[in-house]
Amino acid sequence: MSPKRPKVIVTRRLPDAVELRLKELFDAELNATDQQMSEDELAAAFERADILVSTVTDQINGRVIARAGEQLQMIAQFGAGTDNIDVQTATQRGITVTNTPGVLTDDTADVTMALILSVPRRLNEGSRLIADGKFDGWAPTWMMGRRLGGKRLGIIGMGRIGQAVARRARAFGLQIHYHNRKPVARHIEEGLEATYWDSLDQMVAHMDIISINCPHTPATFHLMNARRLGLMKPDAFIVNTARGEVIDEAALARILSENKIAGAGLDVFEREPAVNSDLIGLENVVLLPHMGSATLEGRIEMGEKVIINIKTFTDGHRPPDRVIPSIL
């Protein structure tokens, strides 16, 4: 790197403490408006920056990377997922990509568990009834939901977040089942009292609640498609706090509207920030605005990881959270 302070362009607003530290350490250009950059704006930033601090809303495709100046050496993602970045093309151009894994595990698992609680117990419906002035008093058959204890929870993706969800769910008496590319280590499986299913179809068909906690990759796009959603039991629920693209959202909306499954809790959507209009207004759905990881503590810790990755890189060392394309 040049002996002068590297030019670091940040695409979105970050917590004040993180922005202050970035300005102290680097020649940091911040996004005061917090408006998402267009493809042309991202490309212009690539032409000027030594390092770009990106977020999951930035679509860094091959066209954007092709316009990178010779000085651009690093994309430091503020987030664990990197499916918005063409990591292969960046790596081929000699651009290092980093992310911030492991920071938001508990925050995301907390919201996943909140949805697992709120959908079967109809908490969102109850809250709306109060707001609409429709609560006339308790009655024996009023607002009956479903008990969690003893139900089967099927976790799709038993990584850090999936395991954190399992730990929480066990405290509520849920039986833990999971599907993964391969079984987790035996001591983890035994500690969670979790049952591995090699067949996703078979697991989906036998679960009371499905929780999606896998990343979005070409292999997981529409993993829960119309056929697989159709395998779910009529009284089953599905929760997604991972990536919206993992579910065929149109198929889900149709199945929910036809009451072929009992309900859904979604924190992510296939075409964010757009939400399928057929989902909005359904009584058996809880919709959240991608807030699973939104805690102040988590965001600051993410920023600290970004700074460590940049500082380590500019000091001439391999950054701790370098992302390697899976095909390499």
Asked if 49 and 88 sit in the same domain, the reply is yes
Residue 3: predicted pLDDT:
59
Asked if 151 and 227 sit in the same domain, the reply is yes
Contact criterion met (CB below 8 Å) for 263 and 120: yes
Contact criterion met (CB below 8 Å) for 282 and 304: no
User: Does residue 225 lie within any of the structural domains?
Assistant: yes
Residue 1: predicted pLDDT:
45
| Residue 179 annotated to the active site | no
Asked if 230 and 158 sit in the same domain, the reply is yes
Letter string b/e over residues 147-176, b meaning 16 or more CB atoms within 10 A of that residue's CB: ebeebbbbbbbbbbbbbbbbebbbeeebbb
Residue 30: predicted pLDDT:
97
Total of domains in the chain:
2
User: Does residue 119 lie within any of the structural domains?
Assistant: yes
By CB atoms closer than 10 A (0-12, 13-18, 19+), residue 222 is: middle
150 phi-psi bin (left φ>0, alpha ψ -120 to 50, beta other): left
Q: Which of 160, 177, 243, 299 is catalytic?
A: 243
For residues 161 and 179, give the distance between their C-alpha atoms in angstroms, rounded to a whole number: 14
| Residue 272 annotated to the active site | yes
User: Does residue 260 lie within any of the structural domains?
Assistant: yes
Asked if 195 and 306 sit in the same domain, the reply is no
The CATH number that applies at residue 20 is: 3.40.50.720
Q: Judging by DSSP bridges, how do beta strands 74-78 and 51-55 pair with one another?
A: parallel
Per-residue pLDDT of the chain (328 residues; tens, 9 = 90+): 445 899 999 999 999 999 999 999 999 999 999 999 999 999 999 999 999 999 999 999 999 999 999 999 999 999 998 999 999 999 999 999 999 999 999 999 999 999 999 999 999 999 999 999 999 999 999 999 999 999 999 999 999 999 999 999 999 999 999 999 999 999 999 999 999 999 999 999 999 999 999 999 899 999 999 999 999 999 999 999 999 999 999 999 999 999 999 999 999 999 999 999 999 989 999 999 999 999 999 999 999 999 999 999 999 999 999 999 864 3
User: Does residue 247 lie within any of the structural domains?
Assistant: yes
Q: Which of 19, 41, 272, 304 is catalytic?
A: 272
By CB atoms closer than 10 A (0-12, 13-18, 19+), residue 136 is: exposed
Q: What are phi and psi of 312, to 5 degrees?
A: -60, -45
Residue 120: predicted pLDDT:
97
Asked if 27 and 109 sit in the same domain, the reply is no
Contact criterion met (CB below 8 Å) for 298 and 104: yes
Containing structural domain, residue 199: 105-287
Q: Which of 12, 21, 168, 290 is catalytic?
A: 290
In 10 A of CB 279, how many CB atoms?
18
User: Does residue 327 lie within any of the structural domains?
Assistant: no
For residues 100 and 130, give the distance between their C-alpha atoms in angstroms, rounded to a whole number: 40
Asked if 54 and 137 sit in the same domain, the reply is no
Residue 328: predicted pLDDT:
37
Amino acid at position 195, single letter: T
By CB atoms closer than 10 A (0-12, 13-18, 19+), residue 311 is: middle
User: Does residue 325 lie within any of the structural domains?
Assistant: no
Asked if 73 and 112 sit in the same domain, the reply is no
Q: Provide the whole-model pTM.
A: 0.89
Largest CA distance in the chain: 73
| Residue 243 annotated to the active site | yes
For residues 288 and 125, give the distance between their C-alpha atoms in angstroms, rounded to a whole number: 14
Asked if 128 and 207 sit in the same domain, the reply is yes
